[in-house]
Amino acid sequence: MARITVEDCLQRIGNENRFALIHLAIARVRQHRRGAPLLEHCKNKEIVCALREIASGEVTFDNIKALGQQLRERNEKSTKTADTTKSADATKTIDAKKLPLTPATAPEIAEL
């Protein structure tokens, strides 16, 4: 696979400012760390994967916020699903008569 160069990334984003490129790459790395899927198949470190996505044109200054918004929406959906599951588990009742008393738990109950 071809190596990623800073010049390729700068040409792709249409900006000759390396500082801006680093900010874009770091924003994408943070999205990866929060669970955003990779847009380019990559087995390298996060920063290299982010630069590959920038060099391929899949990550730009225009769409970086949209990618972050998609990640937030996906996280909110998974949080709502987890909350629903937790609340369903909380409504279940336990019949104490059906629980077996074992020697390990019997003294603990006697102390109460």
Instruction: Show the low-confidence residues of the chain (pLDDT under 50).
Output: 1
- pLDDT on residue 73: 84
- The count of domains in the chain is 1
- The answer to the question of residue 31 being in a domain is yes
Q: Is residue 97 part of a domain?
A: no
pTM score of the predicted model: 0.60
Residue 26 maps to a domain: yes
pLDDT for res 1: 45
What is the predicted pLDDT for the residue at 38?
A: 84
DSSP 94: -
Helix pair angle (18-33, 46-56), 10° resolution: 120
In this structure, is residue 44 part of a structural domain?
Answer: yes
Residue 111 lies in a domain: no
Reported as half-sphere exposure (CB side, CA atoms, 13 A), residue 67 has a value of 24
Domain at 38, CATH number: 3.90.940.10
